[in-house]
C-alpha cells in the first residue's frame, strides 16, 4: 500500500450508484439499420399541476442516508415532454432540479422551454420539436409495438436502450439487442422500472437503488430510513467510540509529512478558517486529520528526486461534520461516523470493533483519541498513533504481509498566522 493509498484508506470501497442517469451513448446506430420512426409518439403531456413532484428520495440498497432531488417550478403552465424524461422524475415542468448526494454537494440541472411550452433543453442535452414530434440532440426515437399491442416501445437512434411506454407513461428502460432492422428487442431485466398509481409516479427503481417520489400533500418516513434507524439504535453506544471531536485549535498541525523507505513522500500543508471545532470520523482521524482545515496543499514527491506533483484539496463539511477531503467520509442517521454503510460496531476492552463486508478493523481509543488501528481482514495492517496530550506527534504504519513498505507520518505545529 503506497503512502497515497494509506492516507486515503477506509474500511472498504463504496460504490454509490444513487440515481439512474439516462442512456449510454455510442457512436453509431444499431447494426442492421434503424426502424421507421414515429417521433411524435416519444412525447407526452405533463401531468396535472397537483401531481408534479416536490422531491425524490433515493436510497442505495446497501444502506446509508439517501440522495435527494428537489424540484422547483417557475410556472404552473402545462408543457410537452420527451416521455423518456419520466426516468428522472420529470413528469411536470420543472425549471431546476437540485440533487444532493452522500457527499452533500448540490448539483443543479436546469430545464428550458420554448414559446409553445415544449421542453427544449435539460442542461446541455437539447430536444428539437416539429409540432409535437421530438428528437433528442439530433437522434430520433423509433416506435414499435409488442406482440400484444399493449405497450409502445421506443428504440433510440443512438443509444443502447429501449423504453417501454403505456398510456403516455414510461414504465421501464431496457438495454437492447438488434433482432431485426425494424424491431430492436429488450434484453434481460429492466435497467430502470417506474411504478405508477392511478394518477402519479410513485417509485423509480434500479438494481442498486429505490427512489420514492414525494408531493406537496405527501410526507412520511420511508421504510429504508426506518429500518436504518432501528439498526443504528442497536450499536449506537459502540459506534460513538469511533466518532471524535477535533483537538483544540492550538494543536492543529501546520503540515503532515508521510514518508516511505524508498524516499517517496507526501507533504500536506493545512489552511484553516474561522471554524474552531468539528466532528471527525475514525477514517479521517487515523490519517492525521485532527483539526478542521478548509483546504490543504497536497504535494507528492517521488523517490530519487523526480518531479513532484501538487494540487489543492478542499475539505468539505456538513455543519460541524467533516464529510470529505481526498475521499468522502460517511455519516449515519444518528449523527455518527461510519467507514461504510454496512459497518456494525461492537465494544471491545480497548475500544471498538468495526465489521463490514470485506473488512474487519479493531480501533483502540484512549482519552478520546484513537491510539491504534488493526485491520484483520482482508489483510493484516497495523497503525499506531502517538499523542502528547491532545497533540498528535506521529503515526507509524507497520507493514503487512501484502504490503512490504512501512509508512511514517510526522507533523509540524505552531503555524504562523496568515498575513
Q: What is the pLDDT of residue 44?
A: 92
Record the pTM.
0.72
Of 35, 31, 39, nearest in space to 138 by CA: 39
pLDDT in tens, 123-144: 888 888 888 778 776 566 666 6
∠ CA 408-413-414, rounded to 5°: 175
pLDDT in tens, 281-296: 999 999 999 999 999 9
Does residue 133 or residue 108 have the better pLDDT? 108
Is residue 221 predicted with pLDDT exceeding 90? no
Is residue 26 predicted with pLDDT exceeding 80? no
Q: Find all residues with CB under 8 Å of 335, minimum gap 6, and list them.
A: 243, 279, 321
pLDDT in tens, 351-379: 999 998 878 899 999 999 999 999 876 66
Q: Find all residues with CB under 8 Å of 238, minimum gap 6, and list them.
A: 345, 346, 347, 352
Does residue 285 or residue 21 have the better pLDDT? 285
Q: What is the mean pLDDT of the chain?
A: 82
Of 76, 121, 128, 71, nearest in space to 100 by CA: 71
Distance CA 144, CA 128 (A): 21
Q: What is the 3-state secondary structure (H, E, C) of the chain?
A: CCHHHHHCCCCCCCCCCCCCCCCCECCCCCCCCCCCCCHHHHEEECCCHHHCCCEEEEEECCCCCCEEEEEECCCCCCCEEEHHHHHHCCCCCCCEEEEECCCCCEEEEEEEECCCCEEEEECCEEEEEECCEEEECCECEEEEECCCCCCEEEEECCECCEEEEECCEEEEEEEEEEEECCEEEEEEEEEEEEEECCCCEEEEECCCEEEEEECCCCCCCCHHHHHHHHHHHHCHHHHHHHEEECCCHHHCCCEEEEECCCCCEEEEEEEECCCCCCEEEHHHHCCCCCCCEEEEEEEEECHHHCCCEEEEEECEEECCEEEECCCECEECCCCCEECCCCCEEEECCCEEEEEECCEEEEEEEECCEEEEEEEEECCCEEEEEEEECCEEEEEEEECECCECCCEEEEEECCCCCCC
Distance CA 18, CA 58 (A): 7
What is the pLDDT confidence band of residue 38, given thresholds at 50, 70 and 90?
Answer: very low
- Other beta carbons less than 10 A from residue 388's beta carbon: 9
What is the pLDDT confidence band of residue 63, given thresholds at 50, 70 and 90?
Answer: confident
pLDDT in tens, 159-213: 567 888 888 899 998 876 555 545 555 567 888 999 999 989 999 999 999 999 9
- DSSP β-bridge partners for residue 303: none
Q: What is the pLDDT of residue 45?
A: 95
- Domain borders along the chain are 3-12+230-412, 39-207
Reply yes or no: is the peptide bond before residue 378 cis, omega within 30 of 0.
Answer: yes
Does residue 135 or residue 39 have the better pLDDT? 135
Amino acid at each position: 500500500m503506497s503512502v497515497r493509498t494509506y492516507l486515503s484508506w477506509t474500511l472498504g470501497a463504496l460504490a454509490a450508484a444513487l440515481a439512474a442517469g439516462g442512456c449510454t451513448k455510442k457512436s453509431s446506430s444499431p447494426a442492421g439499420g434503424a426502424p421507421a420512426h414515429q417521433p411524435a409518439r416519444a412525447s407526452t403531456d405533463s401531468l396535472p399541476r397537483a401531481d408534479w413532484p416536490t422531491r425524490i428520495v433515493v436510497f442505495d440498497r446497501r444502506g446509508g442516508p439517501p440522495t435527494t432531488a428537489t424540484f422547483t417550478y417557475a410556472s404552473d403552465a402545462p408543457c410537452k415532454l420527451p416521455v423518456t424524461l419520466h426516468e428522472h422524475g420529470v413528469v411536470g415542468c420543472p425549471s431546476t432540479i437540485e440533487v444532493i448526494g452522500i457527499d452533500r454537494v448540490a448539483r443543479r440541472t436546469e430545464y428550458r422551454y420554448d414559446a409553445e411550452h415544449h421542453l427544449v433543453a435539460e442542461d446541455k442535452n437539447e430536444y428539437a420539436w416539429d409540432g409535437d414530434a421530438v428528437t433528442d440532440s439530433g437522434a430520433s426515437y423509433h416506435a414499435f409495438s409488442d406482440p400484444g399491442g399493449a405497450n409502445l416501445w421506443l428504440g433510440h437512434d443512438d443509444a443502447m436502450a429501449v423504453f417501454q411506454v403505456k398510456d403516455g407513461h414510461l414504465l421501464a428502460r431496457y438495454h437492447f439487442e438488434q433482432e431485426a432492422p425494424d424491431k430492436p428487442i429488450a434484453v434481460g431485466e429492466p435497467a430502470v422500472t417506474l411504478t405508477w398509481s392511478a394518477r402519479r409516479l410513485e417509485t423509480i427503481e434500479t438494481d442498486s437503488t429505490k427512489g420514492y417520489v414525494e408531493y406537496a400533500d405527501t410526507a412520511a418516513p420511508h421504510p429504508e430510513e426506518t429500518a436504518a434507524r432501528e439498526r443504528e439504535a442497536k450499536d449506537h453506544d459502540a459506534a460513538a467510540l469511533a466518532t471524535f471531536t477535533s483537538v483544540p485549535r492550538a494543536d492543529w498541525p501546520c503540515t503532515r509529512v508521510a514518508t516511505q523507505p524508498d524516499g517517496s513522500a507526501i507533504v500536506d500543508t493545512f489552511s484553516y478558517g474561522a471554524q474552531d471545532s468539528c466532528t471527525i470520523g475514525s477514517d479521517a482521524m487515523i490519517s492525521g486529520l485532527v483539526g478542521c482545515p478548509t483546504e490543504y496543499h497536497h504535494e507528492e514527491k517521488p523517490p530519487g528526486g523526480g518531479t513532484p506533483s501538487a494540487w489543492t484539496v478542499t475539505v468539505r463539511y456538513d455543519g460541524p461534520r467533516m464529510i470529505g477531503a481526498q475521499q468522502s467520509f460517511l455519516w449515519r442517521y444518528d449523527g455518527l461516523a461510519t467507514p461504510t454503510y454496512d459497518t456494525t460496531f461492537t465494544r471491545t476492552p480497548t475500544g471498538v470493533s468495526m465489521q463490514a463486508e470485506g473488512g474487519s478493523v479493531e480501533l483502540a481509543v484512549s482519552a478520546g483519541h484513537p491510539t491504534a488501528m488493526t485491520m484483520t481482514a482482508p489483510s493484516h495492517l497495523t497503525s499506531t498513533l502517538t499523542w502528547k496530550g491532545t497533540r498528535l506527534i506521529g503515526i507509524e504504519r507497520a507493514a503487512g504481509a501484502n504490503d512490504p513498505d512501512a509508512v511514517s507520518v510526522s507533523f509540524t505545529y505552531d503555524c504562523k498566522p496568515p498575513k
